[in-house]
Amino acid sequence: MTNYLSNASGALQLVNELREELEALELVLEASSTHIRVDAIFGIELRKTKLVTVGNPIPVTPLFGAAALQCAKDVLTNITLKPEQSAKETFRAPGALGLPRVAIQYLEKTNRIRLELFRLLGLLKAHERKALWKKFPGISSLQAIRTTVILSDPQFIRFYWHVGSSGVKRQAKDLIAEWDKQLFDLHGYRPRMDDTLENSLERKLVYSLEMLEALDDTSEQVCIHRPVAPHVRARFKDGDNEPDFVLAQTPFVYDIESPPPRIDPLVSYDPSGAKAASQENQGRSTRARLEEEPYIEAMHIYQYKEGYRTFGPVEKTPKKRNKRVPISE
């Protein structure tokens, strides 16, 4: 593992390295255009806003020919915000590509850089991460940390839209300690409500701290429950491995000598179908165990209903996570 003067300086160095390697990859892909096989690629328009509306349809356009090839090169190498792109969204083009070995070697190297960058960013405080990305105003931080899934023997890939909600159980006193520290790191003390700006993060944190401290017992377990915006996932099988699931913002890649896998294409997002599926699963979801109204709306914090309310430390449950890509959106 490389030693850095600090985590912040290491992250800075890695962003610069990533830019250089992606520029080199772009040249390799341009020179290898006749040796790139686009087995599938799907265009998704930028939404041009930071907000995601679950009730809006999302058109998907299968791309072919020169447009497909250009899109494939772009999505594998571009970490720069496009003129019409919001900083809170990413340029997405799921698909499946056969590439020459030299291009895959560059992708393996950029994956290693991205994973190390992702690790270092996790060690930085919020204001340190913000300061880092201010030095790269044109770069999408979300695109910089996403890796490319490289398959050795692709069998099948099924693309689909996922929508629903996510819930994380936390002990109230742990949130109090965490958010108190966040305010102390920003200000050196906990501000009063009157000292904060309307709708600012600081005001939300101060209010949330007061509400959590008002609980009868701060060892109570609460749930941070948020709606999940529509996003593309894929179920795939590589060789003899068990089928797996990943976020699929960018194309899967594999050696061009590999036969094309069976591909179930991505279709346009239909909010009516997604809503019906969500309602069908509601009875067995985390949401069914929560109070109807949030305890702290600004931070999506819910108390559990009386029959499900527990106290004490939250037990850690191991979760399976695909090691190929960090979760980035």
pLDDT in tens, 230-251: 889 999 999 999 999 999 999 9
Pick the more confident residue, 23 or 125: 23
Which residues does 237 contact at the CB level (< 8 Å), separation at least 6? 154, 155, 156, 243, 244
Report CA torsion sign: 297, 223, 141, 150. negative
Q: What average pLDDT does the segment 198-220 reach?
A: 92
DSSP 94-152: -EEEEE-HHHHHHHHHHHHHHHHHHHHHHHS-HHHHHHHHHTSTTB-HHHHTPPPPB-S
> With 70 as the cut, is the pLDDT of residue 274 above it?
no
The CATH class of 7-156+234-271 is: alpha beta
Give the span between the Cα atoms of 22 and 78, in whole angstroms: 8
Which pTM value belongs to this model? 0.77
pLDDT given for residue 175 in this prediction = 95
User: Which of 33-37, 191-195, 206-210, 261-265 shows the lowest mean pLDDT across its residues?
Assistant: 191-195
pLDDT given for residue 276 in this prediction = 45
For 267, list phi and psi in degrees, rounded to 5: -105, 170
Query: pLDDT band at residue 306, thresholds of 50, 70 and 90?
Result: very high
Most confident stretch, 19-23, 48-52, 324-328: 19-23
pLDDT given for residue 259 in this prediction = 96
User: Which of 227-231, 236-240, 258-262, 306-310 shows the lowest mean pLDDT across its residues?
Assistant: 227-231
User: Which of 28-32, 294-298, 325-329 shows the lowest mean pLDDT across its residues?
Assistant: 325-329
Tokens of 125: 């405080």
Tokens of 65: 């020919």
Tokens of 151: 């398959």
Domain boundaries along the sequence of the chain: 7-156+234-271
